[in-house]
Structure 1
Amino acid sequence: MAIQAIIFVLGVWLFQQMSFIPSIFWLLAFIPLIFCAYRFVVIRRVAFHVLALALGFVWAGLFASWRLADALPYEWESKEVELVGVVATLPQVIENGTRFNVNVERVLTPGAHVPEHIALAQYADGFSEIKKPTDLLAFHAGERWHLRVKLKRPHATMNPHGFDFEAWALERNIRAVGVVRKASTNQRLSDFVWRPTYMIEALRERVQSRISQVLKGRPYAGVLQALVMGDESEITQEDWQVFLRTGINHLMSISGLHITMLSGIAFAFVMALWRRSSKFTLKLPARKAAVVAGVLVALSYALVAGFSVPTQRTVYMLMVFAFALWSNKPVDIVKVLAYALFVVALLDPWAVLAPGFYLSFGAVAIIAYALGGRLGQSHWFTAAVRTQWVVTLGLVPLLLLMFQQISLISPVANALAIPIVSLLVVPLSLLGAILPIDGALWLAHWLMQALMLALKWMAALPLSTWQQQAPPVWTFLLAMFGLVWMLLPRGFPLRLLGVIFFLPLFLVMPKAPEEGAMLVTVLDVGQGLAVFVRTHQHTLLYDTGPQYTSLTDAGGRILVPYLRAEGVKRLDGLVVSHNDNDHSGGMRSVLSQVPVNWMASSLPQLPAELRNIKHLTCFAGQQWTWDGVRFEMLSPDLTSYPDKAIKDNNRSCVLKITSVSGSALLAGDIERPVEMRLAENAGSSLKADVLIVPHHGSRTSSSETWIEAVNPKTVIFTVGYRNRFGHPKPDIVARYLRRNIKTYRSDENGAVLFNFNAKSGWSEQAWRNTHCHYWHDK
């Protein structure tokens, strides 16, 4: 049955690779045929395996069909709707507002349909009807509210190597996202709705309030909050970088390790006490009592942490292990792991999409394979060191495949951090958060502060982290084979030859364009612009996308991961067209994490912390050639810089890139006056095959004269989904379409990749079109 359980999970995984939801009726009809085949002994085993695969596929399909059916209709996007709902989660403080989930009970707007589970935010900023933070409504978990909201479907940026927000939202059953609108009808209807899930969220809110009060102003209060409640919103970017570089980021949330450790402590404690009482032991064996205690502690911790999807996976896994211990049978780790996989996939078919699913089960599987039956043969310290070594080595292929980086000091950092965090900081934090024992929280914070001193020192070491390109899947499979070979028991010959199978994982680089050719990737950064250009031996980034909040921007969230996955260790050039946030907002993150040879821009001056960068002022007439590809700056004129009346948009760096097979024109946010000047003065040099539409399709740009002068074959509108500016304007889109110009929109097509091949001409690929799954908004 263990093999069938794994095959069932494989069926679930296969369904999650589908680009559409197929009709599952033919599969349902196929199942009786498999039962018929089961009667014949010769093919019975094969039929049973096929049945398990089909059941996994069908099960995932039923779940997906049911969840996707509750969707926000397109016609109700960006329209105001009144509804009654209950605040279903602990409200999370974000920049200029709050964010929370709502369970919708009634829709008051006639004709409107709203999904049952939605995510809302309220903001106080210059673009909102709520102007001051004091005007924000005070939401609390479990309250019933009458609200006016504006919603849209879950839709996010889509890029190579990017985070899939739409899959994340589907797994958490968030079927619409939106904002609370200012209205006189917004009012609290009930102080609290008595339901177990809301009661848990209310308890979590009290725990959060207590941590905030006791540790007010302390630097690592946000870390303790994350460890107790799974709320990572108050961990600073600087601290996250330390955790990532030291490889302990998995500890700074409600990880499976914490839950397992606490459950193990409860198991050992109850076991030690229970077996000392003959009365208790006669009623219930000590091991069974300890199993119950361990499960209850794990479940309680998970509930305080919000019972998030990753937490659920850990609890389900522990329950399977607990059942195996309860049954008084020898624990077969392979079977228990297989059944745990089955339970997790059965209850959460989207778990097979999450990196944590593979890392958690992979770590257990590696330990079971490498150390099964061998730990008892050595001293406990030797066993602990060997376990750490095995897990570190075993997760290298997975970490490089998923994140393109590994921490070289992770074994040392984890050896220090795991006992301090899991055995001391987490229990003390829970004790002080739930009970009125302030000293426990202070002690936990002091321990965390001391640990951070050591971690920051480790993170600052020059070789603390290895970063590289995203390896092809075949190199990952080869490395896994090498790993299996290397971890064979002592006595097997030539185990070190397994290292050879690891080498392609590190050495196979993305194929570079030929001499005279180039790759141009117009990334999807929302309402903004970022274009990556690669020639045979050089790379250039044009614009860095927007800054989303004071803590996040397109540079850190999209560009740096993309560049790392593409194997870019250094940028030869960076051009920031002008000073608007949607073009320069990610600049700090890029420059702080990726070395750059030089930077050109029309910015009046760089921020103080970036003034050590070699900076050039862009102006018409600049040109250079890389690997047979010509780069020309067409605007602005150098003489225009002293003129303070010129808008930032019209001082955008306009860059023309010409390869042997085609050209691309990157025009920033120039408006009609600059377009007319360029059309008049630039002549044939303005013509280009691919055009990034100026100013995102605003009516201030894309004049008829400009379009005729450039005469592009393909244009891209770089816009955010349902952005507040209404870009691109319909009449501007129509202006290009009337000339039979092929158009792309980043909000509809995701990143657009152009391959200007030296031999076969140029071609394009829209990422959302070619790499979509059934959950992606089309």
Structure 2
Amino acid sequence: MRSSIIAFALGVGFIQMQENLPAWPLVVGLLVVALLLLFWLGRRQDTIGRAGSTLLCALLGLAWAVLLAEHRLQDYLPAEWEGRDVQIVGVVAALPHAFERGERFEFDVESVDTPGARLPQRIMLSWYHGVLEDEWREKLVLRPGERWRLTVRLKRPHGNANPHGFDYEAWLFERGLRATGYVRPRAVGERLDDFVLRPDYVIERWRERIRRSFFEVLPDAPYGGILAALAIGDEQAIPSDQWRLFRQTGVTHLMSISGLHVTMVAALFAGLSGWLWRRSERLMLFLPAQKAAVAAGWLAAGGYSLLAGFAVPAQRTLYMLTVVALALWSGRNLGASRSLLLALLLVLLLDPWAVLSPGFWLSFAAVGLLFFVATSRVGVARGWRAVLAGWSATQWAVTIGTLPMLLLMFQQFSLVSPAANALAIPLVSFVITPLALLFAVIPWPLLLQGDHWLLSALMHFLEWLAVWPVWQQPAPPLAAALVAVPGVIWLLLPRGFPARWVGLCLLLPMFFWPAPRPAAGDAWVDVLDVGQGLAVVVRTAGHTLLYDTGPLYSAESDAGQRIVVPYLRAQGVEQLDVLIVTHRDKDHSGGVAAVREALPPTRTLSSVAELQPERCVAGQAWEWEGVRFTILHPVDGDYDRRVAKTNNMSCVLRVENAAGSVLLTSDIEARDEQALLARSPALLASDVLLVPHHGSATSSTRAFIAAAGAREVVIPVGYRNRFQHPRPEVVERYGASRLWRTDRDGAVRISLAGGVSLSSYRTAYRRYWHGE
């Protein structure tokens, strides 16, 4: 059974790594044949029968994942209806989340009033309140379960595509959100019904009332959002600076509803129910206390999962607990490994895209490690010393055991995580979270205020620990992480096992694998996909330059913290030698604060005086390992006169070596192109050109394009941006060059090494749900 489940899981995972799905008629035929052969081979107990059954289980997993994926892909937004106004009627399906300028919510589409339009069943909408009349804004309070008539403008799921970045499209696909968009500001929405009676809407309305009660009792409390997140899964209520503290101390998993919380709540209810059940002889005769405790624990886990919005991590844990509960209720001892693998099978049957989530791997790894440590400690003496030793062993196992995945997925881990979790896990799981849930049932203000006091004490402890540094390193290759897995198991073997130091040797490559760098004289130029903005990383053998920092997305989010800094750290960049902020516009300078805080640059060049930089001035030049950098614009006199636009002060950079050259132009416009043609036409000639101003109609004159003569051109642009960049007439002017676009191709790598070559991230990492 174990090998069959593992084979099924491998088949499911194989499909999630594919660019395209096989034809579904072929898959249906394969599924039927595999089932028949599996029934026939199942009677054979020899090696051939077992091997054949294992292979067929892998084919079943593959076929099952394809069928579910094909079904989900059929629910799509046709390309011709992107960016068009559509009037729809539907229901607010989940708890809305407020952001700086409005609210974001999931919406179940019931009907489409616009003739000919076809929409997915569930979409993600944003409603920007800033454009509404004040009187209307006060009346607008979105609540789950309300039926609305709205005019919306939608687009297909799309996210930034960068190495080691978050796959937003996969996240939407797993949750069945097949289009995103916004409510049109000029079309007033109409609330048709205050509440639509459906079980899932009832739960969401209940969650909304609980959230409101939390903030009524703690209106200005600094940690009220954390308590709401622990009770109902509203992670958006936690500010970004608190998330940063949790990452620094390694307790992020505790501050959102995860498998640990669901398991602990189930354990608490099971223990309490079993204790109360044993107090009654009549109840004991009716049903054994152990079975009553199992049932109570499972019901508590299910109720808590629903209260938390039935998020994917909670679902996975509930499925795991269901398997364990059924085994205990039936009186069968399946064993730790069988229980874990049966839970894995159930999760993948219901959610084959779970393998795309880091939480899936971390949760199963943590549970497996706990089983492994518990098994190795069978027969250990009891008492408070044994309990303390068991808790220490558990902390050690989870810390060491999850290291390979944490470094592979996030390239960092907290050095103080064991100390932080030693206090935070029992306090949050057994005191803070249960008190928050108790308040949700019994809304007594003193209960929540006391809970907030306990949380405040824990937060002060975490702030004290946060002064210690976080271990950060380049992303190790998959091979190094796989080698580390047996090293972890070897290290966690019982004391007295010979040569446990071998496990440490297997872990070392993962920690000290060198980051890839260009050879001496070569250069890598990476145009990151930051949406409608610009961020370019230039690396030589020993130096790194960052050209712009990407856009500001909101008051609490920017490309610096979300994309640029994680990318630099994953690539092993520990020192930023030069930062160039080309001009003031927020789509180029929005991430500068996050970049300067994380990787303080040795030298800053910019036309923005507030940054207190060294001015970028035409004629500045330097050389790193045979790669020459030259500033071409603006000239010194431009700083002394008022320019028409901030775009006219954009710093233009030429990167050149023996292999070729790249011209980075930021947002220069036609007048700046003319000035460059007049001053230094020879320096404009390049192999690769970063298209000025995202391909706007105010740039890319024919004379400038001819002077550059680039064989390859890259347009940094956001998907279906409101400026309609790049303009069709501009794209036509570049017809003689090969065109790359970050909205279509993702991050673009320009390699100046023995020639000029370009590659795109979406080509290398394409998955079947991308663009669908």
TM over 0.5: yes
Using the alignment, how far apart are the partners of 1:638 and 1:456 within structure 2?
47
How far did residue 282 of structure 1 move?
A: 1.1
Of 635, 638, 655, 2:636 maps to 638
Aligned to 1:768: 762
Secondary structure at the counterpart of residue 13 of structure 1: helix
Q: 2:521·2:540 contact (CA, 8 Å) conserved in 1?
A: yes
Aligned to 1:708: 706
Using the alignment, how far apart are the partners of 1:354 and 1:12 within structure 2?
14
Secondary structure at the counterpart of residue 197 of structure 2: coil
Secondary structure at the counterpart of residue 306 of structure 2: helix
Aligned to 2:238: 235
Q: What does 1:153-302 align with in structure 2 at a 5 Å threshold?
A: 153-183=156-186, 186-302=189-305
Aligned to 1:469: 474
**Structure-1-length-normalised TM-score:** 0.96
Aligned to 1:110: 115
Q: 2:370·2:398 contact (CA, 8 Å) conserved in 1?
A: yes
Aligned to 1:409: 416
The answer on 1:698 being equivalent to 2:692 is no
Aligned to 1:393: 400
In the superposition, relative to structure 1, how do residues 674 and 183 fare at CA in structure 2: closer, same or farther (>3 Å)?
closer
Of 148, 151, 157, 1:148 maps to 151
| Paired AA for residue 721 in structure 1 | Y
In the superposition, relative to structure 1, how do residues 421 and 188 fare at CA in structure 2: closer, same or farther (>3 Å)?
same
Aligned to 1:4: 4
How far did residue 441 of structure 1 move?
A: 0.8
Secondary structure at the counterpart of residue 428 of structure 2: helix
How far did residue 32 of structure 1 move?
A: 5.5
Q: 1:31·1:51 contact (CA, 8 Å) conserved in 2?
A: no
CA offset digits 1:574-606 (Å, max 9, x no partner):
100000000000111111112321111100212
Aligned to 1:330: 333
How far did residue 281 of structure 1 move?
A: 1.0
How far did residue 19 of structure 1 move?
A: 0.6
Tell me whether 479-488 or 130-139 shows the greater mean CA deviation. 130-139
Of 733, 746, 756, 2:742 maps to 746
How far did residue 331 of structure 1 move?
A: 4.4
In the superposition, relative to structure 1, how do residues 583 and 183 fare at CA in structure 2: closer, same or farther (>3 Å)?
closer
The answer on 1:576 being equivalent to 2:581 is yes
Secondary structure at the counterpart of residue 731 of structure 1: helix
**Structure-2-length-normalised TM-score:** 0.97
Using the alignment, how far apart are the partners of 1:646 and 1:81 within structure 2?
39
| Paired AA for residue 11 in structure 2 | G
How far did residue 199 of structure 1 move?
A: 0.3
Secondary structure at the counterpart of residue 662 of structure 2: strand
How far did residue 31 of structure 1 move?
A: 4.9
Q: 2:229·2:235 contact (CA, 8 Å) conserved in 1?
A: yes
CA offset digits 1:209-264 (Å, max 9, x no partner):
00111000111111111111111212122111110010000001001111111110
Using the alignment, how far apart are the partners of 2:706 and 2:226 within structure 1?
57
The answer on 1:134 being equivalent to 2:137 is yes
The answer on 1:459 being equivalent to 2:462 is no
Aligned to 1:733: 731
In the superposition, relative to structure 1, how do residues 8 and 578 fare at CA in structure 2: closer, same or farther (>3 Å)?
same
The answer on 1:339 being equivalent to 2:366 is no
Using the alignment, how far apart are the partners of 1:184 and 1:641 within structure 2?
45
In the superposition, relative to structure 1, how do residues 22 and 685 fare at CA in structure 2: closer, same or farther (>3 Å)?
same
| Paired AA for residue 206 in structure 2 | L
How far did residue 124 of structure 1 move?
A: 3.2
How far did residue 375 of structure 1 move?
A: 4.9
Q: 2:150·2:187 contact (CA, 8 Å) conserved in 1?
A: no
Q: 1:130·1:136 contact (CA, 8 Å) conserved in 2?
A: no
How far did residue 450 of structure 1 move?
A: 1.0
The answer on 1:119 being equivalent to 2:116 is no
Q: 1:662·1:689 contact (CA, 8 Å) conserved in 2?
A: yes
CA offset digits 1:380-429 (Å, max 9, x no partner):
11110111011101111110001000111000000011111111111111
Secondary structure at the counterpart of residue 323 of structure 1: helix
Using the alignment, how far apart are the partners of 1:654 and 1:590 within structure 2?
20
Q: 1:129·1:181 contact (CA, 8 Å) conserved in 2?
A: no
Using the alignment, how far apart are the partners of 1:696 and 1:534 within structure 2?
23
Secondary structure at the counterpart of residue 548 of structure 1: strand
| Paired AA for residue 724 in structure 1 | R
CA offset digits 1:499-526 (Å, max 9, x no partner):
1111110111232111110011000000
Aligned to 1:56: 61
Q: 1:81·1:149 contact (CA, 8 Å) conserved in 2?
A: yes
| Paired AA for residue 401 in structure 1 | L
Using the alignment, how far apart are the partners of 1:197 and 1:579 within structure 2?
47
Using the alignment, how far apart are the partners of 1:713 and 1:775 within structure 2?
31
Using the alignment, how far apart are the partners of 2:692 and 2:375 within structure 1?
62
Secondary structure at the counterpart of residue 86 of structure 1: strand
Aligned to 2:615: 617
Q: What does 1:483-494 align with in structure 2 at a 5 Å threshold?
A: 483-494=488-499
Aligned to 1:689: 687
| Paired AA for residue 564 in structure 2 | L
Q: What does 1:526-605 align with in structure 2 at a 5 Å threshold?
A: 526-605=531-610
In the superposition, relative to structure 1, how do residues 375 and 457 fare at CA in structure 2: closer, same or farther (>3 Å)?
farther
Runs of 4+ in 1 over 4 A off after TM superposition: 31-34, 39-42, 128-133
In the superposition, relative to structure 1, how do residues 630 and 133 fare at CA in structure 2: closer, same or farther (>3 Å)?
farther
The answer on 1:92 being equivalent to 2:97 is yes
Aligned to 1:20: 20
Matched residue pairs, number? 763
How far did residue 370 of structure 1 move?
A: 3.2
How far did residue 647 of structure 1 move?
A: 2.1
| Paired AA for residue 755 in structure 1 | S
Using the alignment, how far apart are the partners of 1:424 and 1:30 within structure 2?
52
Aligned to 2:673: 675
In the superposition, relative to structure 1, how do residues 617 and 408 fare at CA in structure 2: closer, same or farther (>3 Å)?
same
Secondary structure at the counterpart of residue 466 of structure 1: strand
Using the alignment, how far apart are the partners of 1:763 and 1:130 within structure 2?
52
Q: 1:124·1:132 contact (CA, 8 Å) conserved in 2?
A: no
Q: 1:84·1:147 contact (CA, 8 Å) conserved in 2?
A: yes
Secondary structure at the counterpart of residue 413 of structure 1: helix
| Paired AA for residue 626 in structure 2 | G
> What RMSD, in angstroms, separates the aligned Cα atoms of the two structures?
1.5
CA offset digits 1:339-380 (Å, max 9, x no partner):
000000111011011000000100111222233141540411
Using the alignment, how far apart are the partners of 2:621 and 2:32 within structure 1?
70
How far did residue 648 of structure 1 move?
A: 1.1
How far did residue 160 of structure 1 move?
A: 0.6
Using the alignment, how far apart are the partners of 1:572 and 1:754 within structure 2?
20
Tell me whether 630-639 or 485-494 shows the greater mean CA deviation. 485-494
Q: What does 1:492-507 align with in structure 2 at a 5 Å threshold?
A: 492-507=497-512
CA offset digits 1:440-470 (Å, max 9, x no partner):
1101111111111110111112x3x100100
| Paired AA for residue 260 in structure 1 | T
In the superposition, relative to structure 1, how do residues 390 and 132 fare at CA in structure 2: closer, same or farther (>3 Å)?
farther
CA offset digits 1:633-653 (Å, max 9, x no partner):
001011210212342101111
How far did residue 140 of structure 1 move?
A: 1.1
Q: 1:122·1:179 contact (CA, 8 Å) conserved in 2?
A: yes
How far did residue 130 of structure 1 move?
A: 6.6
Q: 1:97·1:121 contact (CA, 8 Å) conserved in 2?
A: yes
Unpaired runs of at least 5, structure 2: none
Aligned to 1:439: 446
| Paired AA for residue 693 in structure 1 | V
Secondary structure at the counterpart of residue 161 of structure 1: coil
Unpaired runs of at least 5, structure 1: none
In the superposition, relative to structure 1, how do residues 32 and 75 fare at CA in structure 2: closer, same or farther (>3 Å)?
closer
